[in-house]
Amino acid sequence: MTEVKSTGNHDLKQDYRREIGKKTLFIGGSLVSLVVLVILSCAVGTGYGFFETYQIIVDRLMGVEPSNITEWWADHYVCENILPGIVAAIIAGAGLSLGGAVMQSMMGNPLADPYTTGISSGACFGAVLSITMGLSFGTMTGDVGIVAMAFVGALIPSILIILLSRFVNSSPSTLILIGTAISYFFNALVTYVMVISDADALQDAFTWQIGAVSDIHWGDLPLMLIVVSISSILILLVSNKLNLMMMGDDSAKTLGLDVDNFRTLCLVLISVLIASIISFTGIIGFVGLIAPHITRYIIGGDNKFVIPAGMLMGAIILCLADLLSRCLLDFGNVPIGVVMSFIGAPIFLYLIVRSKSDKEVF
Amino acid sequence: MATRHPEYRGYCRKKVIFTIGFMVAVVFLSMFSLKVGFYETTYSEIFDVIWKNLNGMEVPRQDQVIIWESRVPEAIVAILTGAALSVGGAVMQTVLRNPLADSYTMGISSGAFFGVTIAAIAGVSLIPGIGSELATIINAFVFSLIPVAIVLMISRNRKMTPTKIILVGIAIMYVFSAVSTLLMLTADSETLADVYSWRVGTLSNIAWNHVGVILVFVVAGIAYLMFNNRKYNLMMAGDNCAQSMGIDTKRTTLTSMTVVSLITAAVVSFTGTIGFVGLVGPHIARIFVGSESKYLIPASAAFGAAFLLIADCISRVSGTYGLPVGVVSAIIGCPLFVIILVKMRSKEWA
């Protein structure tokens, strides 16, 4: 009897370790494939080979000075023109995916992500106001001012979601519909601001709004990177609490979690996160929706792993989208936002049709 | 016919009065919309211009261009568009028993927009060898039917809640708008500006030669829907009920949705995407006249027309570039959509 029990325990522990090992392996594998993807992405369309590109990037990192004009040109081209966009795609992908994973766990809603809940559009509206009209807060200028305005814009949908989920018993799809309505509303306002500010700049503004990473420089990246890293650390620290939230509000409360305040804090954090990304890239939809889903499909729902792995997955997806956006058409770039809609919209449709009842989660 | 209960007659009279009241309001609003704008006129001048034009007399050039050739067709199309979208919304909501249904949320507009984009940018028309304007309309019409067909197919095979059906519509809209955006990126800036103004929805490009087509489609379509009003009342009670009362529900749904798509396509191919009128009109009308289709259809038509006339007036007086009508209707319509969604839970729709 005891013999059987102990082997059972042993198996269980072994199984658990194997599971953890598998998840760690998945994260490691994603990391490696991300690095390969970055080099590949730098190589595509530049005319340099895979290893040549690798050499160029390593040289830059090691501080090796280019010895002749050809090398200098290659270095300049890869590291100043192509690489910033790719790094931006990685940071944005990781950040948006983090936002999506947190929102899905927190709201118990498989369709939630910063795009479908309207937070992205709100942030975009704030950023557009700041860029076109120079609105800002007091002494905040430049990038920080734009991000601050985007944050205020992002707070509007967030607050609405908090209020509605607190006072009205809404189903997941109702919340998403409200989010969609909010994003229509903000899109209308963004259109208006763009049309009145400069009629000639419509094309630029249009491209900016649908999300692009091709115009990003090294100087744009630090703010994004700092915000994304800090929020990811904070979220990882509370990933256990997110696991509790996934079980539903009542269960989370019985296990000692202050659900309402936790949700509010998370939404504020996500608003900052999304604002800092959207201000530089424009709206990129669906990454936050699909990256966590793919991750959960492979390694299960434990947020301790879903969050880091989902961030990597988001980075990979956006990196791939960036790669596609540069080589899909011969006459120019397809903005990354459009590529993401092509990938994401059908998956969104699939997720809606697949879920059987209104309340069903994951 | 059996005599009706006096109390019921009182109800009916109230509904008729409301409907007529709305229609009178539309007449006054359209007069007002002819006057509003940067070009100053008086009502007597407007009447004078209209009277002289109807009788084939000469009118001062400036008045002729601004009032007769621009504002009058714009007001007429605003009325027709508002009526068409609103009636379309009312019928869709009734037939699908879904309070959120509307030509915009069901994806009709996104399909139509895709059709317009491929006609305007890629120069593809489904029937070769016809004029570009006709090609645009035909494209808009054909492609506007696709989203509705997909939504109906998906929602028929699986039991779905109203909100989920709308989400399916939105997902399809995402797909279509991704393709349209891709096309828009390949366009030169002039075509882009045209297509973009279509996308936001505007009435300012309307001229007299557009009015005829819209008028025929909208009047015929609304007449057909009005003719079927009794069927819709029964459909409200549910498919089973309606079938036991002798209605071929599948056919009614299909034909009504086709007619709704037809009139929607006819207006949106000229005016562009104007969202939420189909949502706002019927819901406000329902507050006053209730859900009986006989009264709901004309009342929503009148209310939708009034709504769009007001939106058009606002759009004309706001700023140098003008706020597009689509933006005005979105700004008014979105909050209303959210309110309906939140209230829906406690109402008979849920």
CATH number at residue B71: 1.10.3470.10
Shortest alpha-carbon distance between residue B245 and chain A (Å): 30
Inside any domain, residue A360: no
d(CA B179, CA B117): 9
Inside any domain, residue A2: no
Q: Which residues of B touch A173 (CB under 8 A)?
A: 161, 163-164, 167
Amino acid at B289: V
- pLDDT for position B41: 77
Length of chain A: 362
Rg (CA), chain A: 22
The pairs formed by A27-30 with CB atoms below 8 angstroms and a separation of 24 or more are: A27/A305, A27/A308, A27/A309, A27/A312, A30/A309, A30/A312, A30/A313, A30/A316
Among B116, B127, B141, residue whose Cα is nearest residue B213:
B141
Between helix A142-167 and helix A259-281 the angle, nearest 10°, is: 140
> What is the DSSP secondary structure assignment for residue B318, as one 8-state letter?
S
Q: What are phi and psi of A48, to 5 degrees?
A: -95, 155
- pLDDT for position B350: 35
Q: pLDDT above 70 covers what percent of chain A?
A: 85
CB B304 within 8 A of CB B322: no
pLDDT tens sequence across A37-85: 888 888 776 777 778 888 888 887 777 777 778 778 777 777 887 888 8
Mean pLDDT, rounded, of chain B = 81
Inside any domain, residue A310: yes
Inside any domain, residue B336: yes
What value, to the nearest 5°, has the Cα angle with vertex A277 and ends A170 and A298? 65
- pLDDT for position B225: 92
Which A positions 209-268 lie with beta carbon below 8 A of chain B?
A: 210
Shortest alpha-carbon distance between residue B331 and chain A (Å): 6
Q: pLDDT above 90 covers what percent of chain A?
A: 13
Q: Does any CB of chain B come closer than 8 Å to the CB of residue A61?
A: no
Burial of residue A171, with CB atoms counted within 10 A of its CB: 0-12 exposed, 13-18 middle, 19 or more buried: middle
What value, to the nearest 5°, has the Cα angle with vertex B277 and ends B75 and A284? 120
Distances (CA, A) of A356 to A350, B128, B164: 11, 44, 10
Inside any domain, residue A9: no
Window from A13-17, A54-58, A172-176, B328-332 with minimum mean pLDDT: A172-176
Amino acid at B153: M
Q: pLDDT above 70 covers what percent of chain B?
A: 92
Inside any domain, residue B153: no
Between helix A287-299 and helix A336-354 the angle, nearest 10°, is: 60
d(CA A105, CA A109): 7
Distances (CA, A) of B173 to A156, A344, B147, B169: 24, 12, 8, 6
Residues whose CB falls within 8 Å of the CB of residue B21, separated by 6 or more in sequence, listed in order: none
Question: Could you say which of B168, B320, B338 has the minimum Cβ distance to residue A181?
Answer: B338
Structural domains of chain A, count? 1
Above 60 in pLDDT, residue A3? no
Q: Which residues of B touch A346 (CB under 8 A)?
A: 171, 175
Instruction: Match 């120079």 to its residue by tokens.
Output: A134
Q: Which residues of A touch B168 (CB under 8 A)?
A: 349, 352-353
pLDDT tens sequence across A303-332: 888 899 999 999 999 999 888 888 776 656
Find the mean pLDDT for residues B306-326. Answer: 80
Shortest alpha-carbon distance between residue B222 and chain A (Å): 28
Q: Which residues of B touch A290 (CB under 8 A)?
A: none
Record the tokens describing residue A102, joined without a space: 């947190």
Shortest alpha-carbon distance between residue B190 and chain A (Å): 10
B200:A111 CB<8 A? no
pLDDT tens sequence across B55-93: 777 777 777 777 777 788 888 999 999 999 999 999 988
Find the mean pLDDT for residues A24-29. Answer: 90
Q: Does any CB of chain B come closer than 8 Å to the CB of residue A201?
A: no
pLDDT tens sequence across A148-173: 888 888 888 888 887 877 776 666 67
pLDDT tens sequence across B245-273: 888 888 888 888 888 888 888 888 788 78
Above 50 in pLDDT, residue B347? no
Inside any domain, residue A361: no
Inside any domain, residue A328: yes
Structural domains of chain B, count? 1
**Nearest residue in chain B measured CA to CA from A189:** B327
Inside any domain, residue B263: yes
- What's the half-sphere exposure (Cβ side, CA atoms, 13 Å) at B211? 14
- pLDDT for position B348: 41
**Nearest residue in chain A measured CA to CA from B191:** A203
Domain boundaries, position B249: 6-100+201-344
Domain boundaries, position A133: 17-354
Distances (CA, A) of A216 to A82, A277, A316, B272: 9, 12, 18, 34
B185:A353 CB<8 A? no
pLDDT tens sequence across A177-236: 788 888 888 888 887 777 666 655 666 666 667 777 877 888 888 888 999 999 999 999
Q: How far out from the chain centre does Cα A306 lie?
A: 14
ipTM score assigned to the predicted complex:
0.75
Above 50 in pLDDT, residue A360? no
Residues whose CB falls within 8 Å of the CB of residue A49, separated by 6 or more in sequence, listed in order: A43
Q: Which residues of A touch B341 (CB under 8 A)?
A: 170, 174, 177-178, 181
Window from A220-234, B301-315, B333-347 with minimum mean pLDDT: B333-347
Above 90 in pLDDT, residue A95? yes
Inside any domain, residue A359: no
| CATH code for the domain of A208 | 1.10.3470.10
Above 50 in pLDDT, residue B200? yes
CB pairs under 8 A between A and B: 124
- pLDDT for position A197: 66
Q: What are phi and psi of B291, to 5 degrees?
A: -100, 0
Which A positions 271-300 lie with beta carbon below 8 A of chain B?
A: 285
Window from A5-9, A231-235, A290-294 with minimum mean pLDDT: A5-9
β strands within chain A, DSSP E: none
Mean pLDDT, rounded, of chain A = 81
- Residue A152 burial (CB count, 10 A): 19
Inside any domain, residue B317: yes
Question: Hey, CA dihedral for B37, B41, B44, B48, is it positive or negative?
Answer: negative
Window from A339-343, B92-96, B138-142, B176-180 with minimum mean pLDDT: B138-142
**Nearest residue in chain B measured CA to CA from A286:** B174
Above 50 in pLDDT, residue B220? yes
Shortest alpha-carbon distance between residue B153 and chain A (Å): 12
Above 50 in pLDDT, residue B346? no
B326:A188 CB<8 A? yes
CB B19 within 8 A of CB B302: yes
Inside any domain, residue A5: no
B342:A173 CB<8 A? no
Shortest alpha-carbon distance between residue B115 and chain A (Å): 18
- pLDDT for position A199: 57
